[in-house]
Structure 1
Amino acid sequence: MGQLSTRAADLSERLAQNAQAVCRHYLPAGRREGRYWMVGDVAGTPGRSLYVRLFENERGTIGNWVDAATGEHGDLIDLIRLNQRHGRLAETIDEAERFLSLPPSADDDERRLSPGPPARAGSPTAARRLFAASKPIVGTLAATYLQSRGITHLVDLPALRFHPRCYYRPNDYDVPGTPVAFAALIASVTDHEGTQTGTHRTWLDPSGSMKAAVASPRRAMGNILGHAIRFGKAQDVIAASEGIETMLSLREVLPTLPLAAATSSSHLAAILFPPMLRRLYVARDRDAAGDAALSILTERALAAGIELLSLMPELGDFNDDLRLHGPSVLGERVVDQLHETDRARFQRR
């Protein structure tokens, strides 16, 4: 899987060099407006909600895209995978190579051994460097923020770190004068073998009680699609969700259940299954995006011979439940939704 991630990162950079051609091919109902390709969504519906950056400047990297209606975002590999509804990263790699008219990557080993250029902004290399430059969260503003969300078990979280001054690139929806750096919760995105493919950032208000007051307080960089922020080692049973706070809320009451936060509903729908997986819990949000992600995952799990069970919150998501009802009530509600054999296995003693 690490080799697939490396190939995807390389192809992402090559696709960015042909960003407008990619958009014309996969999103033909869109059109160029200034520095962007504008279209309705990743499926190519006419509209102006999704914008793909075609030119690099101080505000963004070529090929990065954001859907203002859903908050979904990514690079061109992510866009192609969602557009083509691929279930496996390998399918997207094959499609990208076909589009670029590349041979089937026979020189991958040579490319990895040869020195490359400085890390491109938003690349997996830049993502790994940011995570390495951050520090453990205990005693930081990131810990204060999580505690304000009712999350108190903050030890043994190697996937999370804190950066005191993380660069924020204002976008067209930010107010003039928006600062270009905030403290941030930094999360490592990995494949199921533990190879880091990206980094997720949550910018924080100086009070630590909320996210920073910016248009996009959460952003990811690197190769995200199919991968996740992981708490615990993947086994035959895991739970997956969109967000970090949802997964950490479940960790409050099921501390030994392996968890995976996919960072968005579209990424949750496309999460890659570990080879040993036999049962997947989907800790979905109670909204239309959660319905859509669950529907796609149900179809994919059935095809892969994996049992899928939905975990439904009482409120909007499980962090809402945790903050309103507390861990005891949340624990009872979640345990009641587990498979009978998993109740004794993962329930807090």
Structure 2
Amino acid sequence: MARHDASDLAIRLGRNAEAVCRHYLSNGRRQGRYWMVGDVRNTPGRSMFVRLSGPASGAGAAGHWTDAATAEYGDLLDVIREALGFVDFKDVAEEARRFLSLPHPEPEKTRTPTGRAPGITVGSPEASRRLFAMSQPIGGTLVETYFRNRGITALHGTASLRFHPRCYYRPDEHSPTEIWPAMVASVTDLAGRQTGAHRTWLSPDGSGKAPVETPRRAMGDLLGHAVRFGVAGRVLAAGEGIETVLSPRQVLPHMPMLAALSAAHLAACQFPATLRRLYVLRDRDPAGDGARDSLIARATSVGIEAIAVSPVAGDFNEDLRRRGVDALRAALKEQLHPEDVARFMER
């Protein structure tokens, strides 16, 4: 009886997922089809994501959540339990019924900014596609200079990256708009459709990132999608940042890779149907450890061999810059399957 009651309540809460999140996870915010927050106890942050839409039950159901930092997961009943510190299910169920009996406002809709075409909203997939189309290939641009300063010189297969010489940057809604050069990355789904874009604003000489508060920002629909380098087959390597992923490609030039752009997004990245072995390029920090554990668990559960690959320093770009390409090659060789060393590693 309790199990049936729990299932019914979870489904009903899932139909009102955004209202539940706004009430019990008030320190988070909506991002596309997800609610992002620090953890199930309503800590500010972005490592936990809650699905706001989806089927009533099963995989991908509305209200299901995952914390990339801890590998925890659950439904909205768990959110209520943790938010209010309940121990007994009867207390959780009573609170859920009380909440469901309350009137709730309609979910907030994205407003169309003044002066923009109808249907093109700030941060929308349509806006991200327009930005990418307006940008140019990175050959001979500041993006190449930026990568050289990060030790990255092999830029084959990087059509997902472009350069915009005058990309708008606004610190916040109350500040004037600035203009900086930027690297623009296309975020795509498994079918190759662009769903978003990621911008890295650069200094005018390409020596590093622009001296702004948040030099990296994303727009569009990102969760589950990625910036892709090469076409995934049976083998794929996945990491967080673009520079982190392009660093191993200096010695693994033919291995398909993707950059998920954050630990939370790495934990949620989708698997190609052909995938049989996944290398997780971890960052050495708590969020990176959580993303690694969550992604490996998900991959293993669907029959994909998952292998964590660790840097010596904080991330693989730091390894490349501090230790050099030969040391990076040697470190990766020890961690890859021998078959993939023979197939993908440049000698």
Please confirm whether the aligned pair reaches a TM-score higher than 0.5, indicating the same fold: yes
Contact 1:40/1:46 (<8 A) preserved: no
Contact 1:44/1:83 (<8 A) preserved: no
Deviations for 1:76-110, whole angstroms, at most 9, x for unmatched residues?
779x98962399xxxx9xxxxxx999xxxxxxxxx
- Local SS of the residue matching 2:212: coil
Which residue type is aligned with residue 276 of structure 1? T
Which residue type is aligned with residue 85 of structure 1? T
TM-score of the two chains, using structure 1 as the length reference: 0.71
Partner of 2:260: 262
Contact 1:159/1:188 (<8 A) preserved: yes
Partner of 1:144: 145
Aligned-residue offset at 1:41:
2.5
Q: Where does 1:209-248 land on structure 2 (aligned, <5 Å)?
A: 209-248=207-246
The structure number with the bigger radius of gyration is 2
Which residue type is aligned with residue 160 of structure 1? L
Aligned counterpart in structure 2 of residue 291 of structure 1, from 286, 289, 292: 289
Contact 1:74/1:220 (<8 A) preserved: no
Partner of 1:41: 37
**Superposed CA RMSD:** 3.3
Any unmatched runs of 5+ in structure 2? 1-15, 29-34, 55-60, 69-74, 76-103, 107-116
Partner of 1:57: none
Partner of 2:199: 201
How has the CA–CA distance of structure 1 residues 254 and 32 changed in structure 2, closer, same or farther, with 3 Å as cutoff?
A: closer
Which residue type is aligned with residue 297 of structure 1? L
- Local SS of the residue matching 1:85: strand
Cα separation, 2, equivalents of 1:139 and 1:73? 39
Cα separation, 2, equivalents of 1:269 and 1:217? 23
TM-score of the two chains, using structure 2 as the length reference: 0.72
Partner of 2:97: none
Cα separation, 1, equivalents of 2:53 and 2:196? 13
Which residue type is aligned with residue 136 of structure 1? P
Q: Is 2:126 the counterpart of 1:122?
A: no
Contact 2:50/2:66 (<8 A) preserved: no
Deviations for 1:177-227, whole angstroms, at most 9, x for unmatched residues?
675221100111111221111111101111311111222111111111101
Aligned counterpart in structure 1 of residue 341 of structure 2, from 339, 343, 349: 343
Contact 1:239/1:283 (<8 A) preserved: yes
Aligned-residue offset at 1:24:
3.7
- Local SS of the residue matching 1:150: coil
Contact 2:244/2:315 (<8 A) preserved: yes
Cα separation, 2, equivalents of 1:337 and 1:308? 12
Deviations for 1:288-307, whole angstroms, at most 9, x for unmatched residues?
11110011112101111000
Contact 1:27/1:44 (<8 A) preserved: no
Contact 2:27/2:42 (<8 A) preserved: no
Which residue type is aligned with residue 123 of structure 2? G
Deviations for 1:305-346, whole angstroms, at most 9, x for unmatched residues?
000001100000000000011111111111111011111011
Cα separation, 1, equivalents of 2:36 and 2:230? 37
Aligned-residue offset at 1:31:
4.6
Q: Is 2:173 the counterpart of 1:168?
A: no
Partner of 1:159: 160
Cα separation, 1, equivalents of 2:40 and 2:50? 15
Any unmatched runs of 5+ in structure 1? 1-20, 34-38, 51-66, 93-98, 102-115
Cα separation, 2, equivalents of 1:75 and 1:180? 34
- Local SS of the residue matching 1:316: coil
How has the CA–CA distance of structure 1 residues 40 and 345 changed in structure 2, closer, same or farther, with 3 Å as cutoff?
A: closer
Partner of 2:112: none
Contact 1:42/1:83 (<8 A) preserved: no
Cα separation, 2, equivalents of 1:195 and 1:204? 26
Which stretches of structure 1, 4 residues or more, deviate above 6 A after TM superposition? 72-78, 80-83
Partner of 1:131: 132
How has the CA–CA distance of structure 1 residues 75 and 217 changed in structure 2, closer, same or farther, with 3 Å as cutoff?
A: farther
Identity over the aligned pairs, expressed in percent?
48
Partner of 1:311: 309
Q: Where does 1:264-283 land on structure 2 (aligned, <5 Å)?
A: 264-283=262-281
